[in-house]
Structures are given as structure tokens and as C-alpha cells.
């Protein structure tokens, strides 16, 4: 059985809500039924088959081709199966997903992995602002799972993050790990201004020295036995994190002292 | 155009009509006498057997002013869960605890309400409050001007200015802010908060002004009486939510020495300290005091279980309660020289001892106060619950077995601490009509509203009789506002714009001289800009102003 493939016929002017096209909702549906699903497109509703050429039938294995930056909510609340996207995607990629896998060969807009609960999300390009953040007004962002970004990410990655692992191979924007409650963000590239801004707990693991705000205290150099274990756990991923040299020496900075102050920024020595 | 409502069962306590079948004739927005035989009836509604009341009036609901917008900004998640699409007639909006202005108007009208009063109009923010209420469709509205923690009044009191000077200042303020009553919130407490006092009992002095809440209550209650403002001083008491505050409330009743006073959201001020959890019901004592003192009226501020947001000028108490914020975020702010503002999201839970008992205390107060003309149905929207829970509340009052079924599901310790199960009283339709119409119109001093007499404005609600009172009151068959049908079967059919009710007591113009100096020295706006002109409320072409007479005064 070949992957259920949606190939975009032409780009729309308005944004499209793609949340109905997830594995668990499409399983057991006839091709004609899938074609007849209506998607919200700006103010109007459009049928799936008017936007996409549909082929294949394995709803457990969905592919979107020719995707572009106005397809929002791809993989929303995904609970099983895999979604593979070729091209850019819009906002809220993998929002609230609890299991399964999404990989995107392109860039994402804001709020990818928003309030994600589990599963694995891989972005081959760059991610926009608020990666793994909480929706506006909510108090907890990403609560589990793994996010791997091969490019760079925008501002406020991991805003209100609660649990889970975020692996960023490129650089981050400002306020990386802002208001973090807990969880781990590892960054191979550079970080912008104010990393860990208002974080109460959680860990930022950095390979380059960041520009820290005054409310982080230098706690000295440490040898941390858990670091090799953590780094080894990255070996199973298709990521540069699988190839990094294992180390256990870090400079530890505690903060944000303007908040609870139990968070830490660990910088490889 | 002449409209006839035929055969309805009319409950009009304002005119002593209790469940009598009666035809109602409407012309030019008013109820008129039965016209002659040859009069042509343009539109007739056969409402045989249906229940007819005047349009309901909510005399205490936070629908305007900056705090609403802060609540909206604070709780986007509460808006996301409750989106409402636009129709050809109505505008889109959202919000469960604090809906948008348009939804507020639609939802009230759909429940048969035709007037609502914002109880905390801070004079310095009155313009915004009126603009916001100007965006509430269908309903008539009005505001109680918040005083008692403003530096100017406290300065006057410290300087021992005579009552006449204070009366002039109060009258000037209510006119400048286009109010219909005077409200006091935690008398002096909001001001004391700014001088680092974190609690203020009735006889405790403001550490800077040396004035006690008791003085303030008495001074303002006297001013309201002497100015002839019909609505009694609207009092949000001291020590809101503090176990044992029943003492404060009883002392406040004594403290005004017979002057008219309206105690608002009394449920939050009726707590004792008995029992294992040092939290008990003071409803019986409150009811006894209210039954004994004819000068006291009250609204309950019933809580309902679920998510809401508490919005109050009482930043002293909001600050004290911010630890209970759920979700965990809150706002507390100063309003320049006037008062304060605090917003704490709150989730009342039926399995929480305190919340369950609060629920029971509110109902006890409803059922133990004898005179329906002096008690009013409110949830202190949105503080106890959103106003959309009124039909449910009415059912609780009218249906004893339903009430007891609900009680039986609550926290078991709370059930032991309340006498609710033993109270047999059930409200009648007539009493509901008094609470929500006749009494509310009377106490806010509205002329021509809240009743169905000839000449009254044709604000009329028609309900289909239903044993399930919640269903009955949630979706009236017809709602007329000023003679026009605005809602049918709980859906808006026409969007009209209500008037703004105000009072204009006389005062000595020389008061402005000193105020001008004060404004120039301390405030961010000039006294001339502070005063809201009539044009500002009416120039959009849909607002209007209705001036109600003061006692012994001319309009």
C-alpha cells in the first residue's frame, strides 16, 4: 500500500486549515470521502480534491507535496502514523500532537510543535518564532516528545515549555527558552539575546557561550555525570546531535533569578 | 404602529398584578391603554397562557470599564473556547467569562434582559466605560461612580470639610462621570493599599489620611441621601472574602445609622469562622440584620461552579487572593488618584469545601431574606459567575428538589455546614419578577421601567411556561425593547440601541475652582477634559441619555 499523498495543485491566496488531514481521522475512509472533506480556506470552505491531487491509500503514512507557507495546522493532534511534508509549512505544525512522527523538508512558520505532548517532529529547514511554545494565554507549552530542527529557529523557542527535548542544530533567535517551566533545549549554534529569560526550571545545553542577562549567576565549572547519558540518548536520531563528541564538563549558570531561579544554562567548556 | 400582545399571564409587581391574564398594547415604544374599538392593530401576537414580565434589569454587572478589557487580554484561552460567528444581523465575538461588548448585549437580550448597570465606573476612566457600554447593543445601561478611595475626597475628610462641600463634590463627580449612583469599594481600602496597608477594618485608620472606612461610608451615604440620589450608596464592603467578615458587614449596617445603603455581592461578605475549617456561613445573621433594617438592600453575588474571572476595583483584596488564581496569572494596578483594579481568574469547584459553601451561603441569603423588594439577583458578573448562568440560578431558587439534588453532589463537609437543605422556601414567579424587574427598577430610580403600566416603556419579556425554570428563563419566546421585538425564541432578530440612565443632582458651581487647582497639580488630565459631555455619549447616532429625577429635585 503506497502512502496517501496530497499534491497541492496551486497555491491559495488565503491560509488553509489542514487539521482534518491527520492519520487518525483519515483511517478507514474511502478515497471519495477524503476528497469530499472540506477545509477552511480564509473565509470560505474548499474541498480537499479542489486543492490537492490525491493518490495512494495508506492513511497511516501521509505525504504532502508542493506544500507552501500558508498550510497551517498540519498534523494537529496527531496520535498515530507519520506525516511527511515536502515544501514549507504554515503555522502550528504538529500542534498538540501526542504520538507519531512528522518530518518537514522545508521551513515552518510560527508555533511549530505548539503544546506538543509526544512523538517526534523533525524540521529539515528553519523554524519560525515560538517553536514548542504555549498558545497565547496558555501557561504550558510543549509537554513531551522530541523536536529536531536542522536549521535555525526564531525567537522564543520553548516559551513556557514544560517537558520534552528540543534539539536545534543551527542558531536561535532571542529569548530562547523563555518562561520555561522544565524540559531540555540543546543548541549547537549561537543563541540570541536573553536566553532563558524568566525560566523557572529546565535546562539549556549550549555549545557556544551565550550573552547572558544579569539575572543569571555563574555557578562555576562542573563535571556532570548525566551529560554523557543525555548525549548518548541523542545517538538514535538522524541529526548532527548523534555525531557530537560526548563531554561532561560544562560551565553552569543558574537562573533566571528574576523568577524561581531553578533553571540552568549549561555551556560546553 | 400599534402592537397587541393577546392573552398573556402578566406578572407586574410594580403595579400589583400577579399572574392575571391581560392584553398589552404597545405604541411608539410605550405601553398604552386599551385603544378604542376602531383602532387598527398592526401586529398581534397571540401569547395565550404565556408568562409576561417587564424586561429584566441587572443592577450589578461588570460590563464596562478598563477591567473588562484587561480580563479579555488576560484570558485569551477563555475566548478561544467560546467563539460566536457573525450573522447578517449580529457581529462576531467571543468570550465565556467576559464576552465582547456585542455578545454581552445579545446574550442579555436573548435572556430577556433589557437593562444592565456597571457598578464600578472610576471617574477618571468613566469615558472609556461609557464608550464600552455604548458598544453594548439593545440594553439600557448606566454606571455607579466609584468614590471613597479617591484622594480628593479623603483630603476633604482629613481637612474636616463640612458635609455640604462633600455633597457638592459628590454631585459634581456623578454629573461629570455621567453616573446614576455612587459606589464605594472597600471604603478607603484601595487608597490604604497604596500606603502599604494590606488590610483595613471598618474602624482602622488609613495611615496617611487618618480616615476610617466607617467615616467614609457614613459621609458618602449622607451625601447620597442629601443629594436625593435614588439609588442608595452602593457598597462593596471591607474585608471581601475574609472568613469572619460577617462582623464587618454587620458593623457596616449599624455604622450607616439608618441611612439607605445597598450592600452588593453580600455573599462574599457573609463568612463566619466556625467549624473545623474555620469557615462558616453567616447568611442567617445577615438575613436577620437585613430583615430588621429597612434602610438596607442587597444583591447576592451568587457563585456558580466553573471558570470565571474576578474583576474588581478592590485591589487590596485581589492582591490578597492572587494565590488562588486559576489559571495562575493575575493583574493588579493603580488607577491614578482614584482607586485601583485587580483581576484574578478563578475556577469555582464543587468539590472544594470553601467554594461549595460559598455557593450554599449565596442561596441561603436568597432564601432567608424576607422582603423581595430589597434583594436582587446577581452573580456579580463575572466575579461569581458569568451572567449567562442566571436561568440556572432562577431554577435553584424556584425548585427546592433541584436545589437539594445539586447540594447533595457538593463537598460533603460543606453540606454539613449549611442549613440550605432544611429551607423550604421556593421563589414564586411574582418574586422573581420583583427581584429582576420591579425591585431593581425601583432601587435604581428608573422612571417608566421595570413595570407594565400604561405609559411605561415597552420593555417586555414573554416566556413559555415550563416546569424546568432554567429552560423557561434561558430562552424567552419574545423580548421587546422599547416596543420593538429584539429577540425571538432566544435568538436576536433586531439590534437596537438602549439609552444611558443618569441622575443630575444640583451642586454649588464654586466647587470647580478648587478642583481645577487639584487637577492641574495632581492629575494627568485637565478638569475640563475630565467632564464627559452629553455629545460624547450620543454623537455616534445610537446612544442617548435619560435623566432621572432626584428625590425632591428637578430633572
Kindly report, residue by residue over B89-127, the tens digit of the pLDDT: 999 999 999 999 999 999 999 999 999 999 999 999 999
> pLDDT tens digits for A22-51?
999 999 999 999 999 999 999 999 999 999
- In this structure, what are the phi and psi dihedrals at residue B471, rounded to the nearest 5 degrees? -65, -40
> Cell 548518548 sits at which residue?
A232
Whether pLDDT at A228 is above 70: yes
B71 CA: distance to closest CA in chain A (Å):
11
pLDDT at B555 over 70: no
pLDDT band at A1 (very low <50, low <70, confident <90, very high): confident
| Model pLDDT, residue B540 | 87
Please report which confidence band the pLDDT of residue B318 belongs to, taking 50, 70 and 90 as the band edges.
Answer: very high
Is residue B554 predicted with pLDDT exceeding 80?
no
CB < 8 Å to A115, chain B: none
pLDDT in tens, A106-161: 999 999 999 999 999 999 999 999 999 999 989 999 999 999 999 999 999 999 99
- For A211, counting Cβ atoms within 10 Å of its Cβ (0-12 exposed, 13-18 middle, 19+ buried), the class is exposed
pLDDT value for B66 = 87
Q: What is the DSSP letter of B112?
A: T
High-pLDDT (> 70) share of chain B, %:
99
Which residues does A contribute to its contact with B (CB < 8 Å)? 135-139
User: CA–CA separation, B8 vs B17, rounded Å?
Assistant: 12
Q: A-B interface: how many C-beta pairs under 8 angstroms?
A: 15
Q: What is the pTM of this model?
A: 0.91
- What does the DSSP 8-state code read for residue B214? H
CA distance A260 to chain B (A): 15
Distance CA B453, CA B531 (A): 36
Cα–Cα distance, A248 to B149 (Å, whole number): 60
d(CA B312, CA B549): 29
Q: Which residues, 6+ apart, have CB-to-CB distance to B474 below 8 Å?
A: B111, B391, B490
Identify all chain A residues contacting B329, using CB atoms and an 8 Å cutoff: 139
Distance CA B352, CA B344 (A): 18
Q: How confident is the model at residue B338 (pLDDT cuts 50, 70, 90)?
A: confident
pLDDT tens, residue by residue, B507-525: 999 999 999 999 999 998 9
Answer whether B328 sits within 8 Å of A139, measured CB to CB.
yes
Convert the pLDDT of each residue in B184-203 to its tens digit.
Answer: 999 999 999 999 999 999 99
B chain contacts of residue A135, beta-carbon cutoff 8 Å: 76-77, 80
B80 forms beta bridges with: none
Query: In this structure, are residues B252 and B202 in contact, taking their beta carbons and an 8 Å threshold?
Result: yes
Residue pair A99/A119 in contact (Cβ under 8 Å)? The answer is yes
Q: Look at the alpha carbons of A168, A215, A138, A203 in this order and tell me if their dihedral is positive or negative.
A: positive
Chain B interface mutation, best of A92, A137, A162, A181, highest count of B Cβ atoms under 10 Å:
A137
- With CB atoms and an 8 Å threshold, state whether A137 touches B328: no
Answer yes or no: are the C-beta atoms of B267 and B245 closer than 8 Å. no
Backbone angles phi, psi at B317, to 5 degrees: -80, -35
The mean pLDDT value of chain B amounts to: 95
What is the per-residue pLDDT for A245? 93
Query: Could you give the percent of chain B with pLDDT greater than 90?
Result: 95
Instruction: Count other C-beta atoms under 10 Å from residue B21's C-beta.
Output: 12
Res B553: pLDDT: 62
pLDDT tens sequence across B207-250:
999 999 999 999 999 999 999 999 999 999 999 999 999 999 99
Apex B245 CA angle, B240 and B247, nearest 5: 145
Question: What's the mean pLDDT in B387-402?
Answer: 97
Q: Which of B78, B80, B327 sits opposite A139 (nearest CB)?
A: B327
Residue range A221-249: mean pLDDT, rounded: 95
CA distance B76 to chain A (A): 5
pLDDT at B233: 96
CB atoms within 10 A of CB A222: 15
Over residues A68-84, the pLDDT tens digits come to 999 999 999 999 999 99
Tell me the sheet residues that pair with B307: B347
**Rounded mean pLDDT, A164-180:** 96
- Nearest-CA distance A164 → chain B (Å): 22
- Asked whether the ipTM of the predicted complex exceeds the cut of 0.90, the reply is no
How confident is residue B552, by pLDDT bands cut at 50, 70 and 90? confident
Residue B373 has pLDDT above 70, yes or no: yes
Q: Give mean pLDDT, residues A206-225.
A: 95
Average of per-residue pLDDT values in chain A: 96
Amino acid at each position: 500500500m503506497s502512502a496517501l499523498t496530497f499534491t497541492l495543485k496551486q497555491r491559495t491566496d488565503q491560509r488553509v486549515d489542514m487539521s482534518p488531514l491527520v492519520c487518525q481521522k483519515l483511517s478507514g475512509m474511502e478515497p471519495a470521502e477524503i476528497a469530499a472533506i472540506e477545509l477552511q480556506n480564509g473565509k470560505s470552505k474548499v474541498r480537499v480534491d479542489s486543492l490537492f491531487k490525491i493518490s495512494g491509500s495508506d492513511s497511516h503514512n501521509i505525504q504532502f507535496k508542493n506544500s507552501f507557507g500558508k498550510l497551517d495546522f498540519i498534523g494537529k493532534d496527531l496520535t498515530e502514523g507519520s506525516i511527511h511534508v515536502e515544501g514549507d509549512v504554515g503555522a502550528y505544525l504538529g500542534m498538540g500532537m501526542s504520538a507519531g512522527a512528522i518530518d518537514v523538508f522545508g521551513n515552518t512558520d510560527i508555533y511549530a510543535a505548539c503544546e506538543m505532548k509526544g512523538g517526534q517532529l523533525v524540521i529539515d529547514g528553519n523554524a519560525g518564532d515560538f517553536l514548542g511554545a504555549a498558545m497565547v494565554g496558555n501557561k504550558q507549552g510543549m509537554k513531551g516528545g522530541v523536536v529536531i530542527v536542522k536549521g535555525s529557529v526564531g525567537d522564543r523557542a520553548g516559551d513556557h515549555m514544560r517537558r520534552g527535548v528540543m534539539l536545534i542544530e543551527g542558531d536561535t533567535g532571542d529569548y530562547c527558552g523563555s518562561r520555561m517551566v522544565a524540559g531540555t533545549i540543546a543548541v549547537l549554534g549561537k543563541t540570541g539575546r536573553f536566553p532563558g529569560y524568566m525560566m523557572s526550571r529546565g535546562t539549556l545545553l549550549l555549545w557556544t557561550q551565550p550573552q547572558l542577562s544579569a539575572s543569571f549567576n555563574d555557578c562555576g565549572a562542573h563535571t556532570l555525570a548525566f551529560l554523557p547519558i543525555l548525549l548518548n540518548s541523542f545517538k538514535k536520531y538522524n541529526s548532527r546531535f548523534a555525531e557530537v563528541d560526548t563531554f561532561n564538563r560544562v560551565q553552569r549558570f543558574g537562573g533566571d533569578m528574576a523568577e524561581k531561579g531553578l533553571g540552568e544554562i549549561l555551556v560546553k567548556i | 404602529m400599534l402592537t397587541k400582545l393577546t392573552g398573556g399571564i402578566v406578572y407586574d409587581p410594580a403595579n400589583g398584578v400577579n399572574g392575571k391574564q391581560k392584553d398589552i398594547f404597545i405604541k411608539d415604544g410605550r405601553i398604552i391603554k386599551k385603544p378604542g374599538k376602531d383602532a387598527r392593530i398592526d401586529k398581534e401576537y397571540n401569547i395565550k397562557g404565556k408568562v409576561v414580565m417587564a424586561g429584566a434589569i441587572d443592577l450589578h454587572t461588570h460590563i464596562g470599564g478598563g477591567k473588562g478589557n484587561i480580563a479579555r487580554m488576560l484570558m485569551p484561552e477563555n475566548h478561544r473556547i467560546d467563539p460566536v460567528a457573525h450573522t447578517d444581523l449580529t457581529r462576531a465575538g467571543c468570550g465565556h467569562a467576559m464576552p465582547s461588548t456585542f455578545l454581552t448585549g445579545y446574550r442579555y437580550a436573548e435572556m430577556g434582559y433589557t437593562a444592565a448597570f456597571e457598578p464600578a465606573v472610576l471617574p477618571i476612566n468613566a469615558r472609556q466605560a461609557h464608550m464600552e457600554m455604548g458598544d453594548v447593543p439593545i440594553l439600557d445601561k448606566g454606571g455607579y461612580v466609584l468614590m471613597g478611595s479617591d484622594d480628593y475626597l479623603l483630603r476633604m475628610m482629613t481637612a474636616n470639610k463640612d458635609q455640604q462641600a462633600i455633597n457638592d463634590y459628590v454631585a459634581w463627580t456623578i454629573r461629570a462621570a455621567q453616573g446614576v449612583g455612587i459606589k464605594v469599594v472597600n471604603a478607603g481600602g484601595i487608597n490604604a493599599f497604596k500606603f502599604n496597608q494590606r488590610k483595613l477594618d471598618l474602624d482602622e485608620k488609613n495611615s496617611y489620611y487618618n480616615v476610617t472606612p466607617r467615616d467614609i461610608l457614613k459621609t458618602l451615604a449622607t451625601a447620597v441621601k442629601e443629594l436625593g440620589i435614588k439609588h442608595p450608596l452602593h457598597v462593596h464592603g471591607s474585608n471581601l472574602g475574609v472568613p469572619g467578615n460577617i462582623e464587618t458587614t454587620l458593623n457596616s449596617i449599624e455604622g450607616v445609622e439608618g441611612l439607605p445603603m445597598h450592600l452588593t455581592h453580600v455573599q462574599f461578605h457573609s463568612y463566619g469562622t466556625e467549624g473545623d475549617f474555620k469557615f462558616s456561613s453567616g447568611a442567617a445573621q445577615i438575613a436577620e440584620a437585613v430583615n430588621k433594617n429597612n434602610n438596607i438592600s442587597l444583591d447576592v453575588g451568587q457563585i456558580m461552579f466553573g471558570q470565571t474571572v474576578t474583576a474588581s476595583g478592590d485591589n487590596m483584596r485581589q492582591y490578597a487572593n492572587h494565590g488562588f488564581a486559576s489559571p495562575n496569572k493575575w493583574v493588579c494596578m493603580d488607577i491614578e488618584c482614584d482607586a485601583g483594579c485587580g483581576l484574578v481568574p478563578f475556577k469555582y469547584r464543587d468539590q472544594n469545601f470553601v467554594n461549595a459553601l460559598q455557593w450554599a451561603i449565596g442561596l441561603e441569603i436568597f432564601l432567608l431574606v424576607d422582603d423581595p423588594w430589597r434583594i436582587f439577583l446577581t452573580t456579580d458578573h463575572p466575579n461569581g459567575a458569568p451572567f449567562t448562568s442566571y436561568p440556572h440560578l432562577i431554577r435553584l431558587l424556584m425548585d427546592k428538589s433541584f436545589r437539594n439534588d445539586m447540594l447533595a453532589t457538593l463537598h460533603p463537609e460543606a453540606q454539613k455546614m449549611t442549613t440550605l437543605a432544611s429551607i423550604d422556601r421556593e421563589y414564586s414567579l411574582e418574586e422573581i419578577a420583583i427581584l429582576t424587574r420591579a425591585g431593581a427598577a425601583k432601587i435604581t430610580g428608573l422612571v417608566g421601567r421595570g413595570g407594565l403600566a400604561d405609559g411605561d416603556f415597552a420593555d417586555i419579556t414573554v416566556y413559555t411556561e415550563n416546569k424546568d425554570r432554567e429552560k423557561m428563563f434561558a430562552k424567552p419566546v419574545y423580548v421587546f425593547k422599547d416596543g420593538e421585538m429584539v429577540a425571538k425564541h432566544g435568538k436576536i432578530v433586531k439590534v437596537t440601541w438602549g439609552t444611558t440612565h443618569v441622575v443630575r443632582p444640583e451642586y454649588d458651581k464654586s466647587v470647580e475652582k478648587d478642583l481645577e487647582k487639584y487637577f492641574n497639580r495632581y492629575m494627568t488630565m485637565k478638569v475640563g477634559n475630565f467632564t464627559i459631555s452629553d455629545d460624547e455619549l450620543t454623537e455616534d447616532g445610537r446612544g442617548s441619555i435619560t435623566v432621572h429625577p432626584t428625590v425632591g429635585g428637578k430633572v
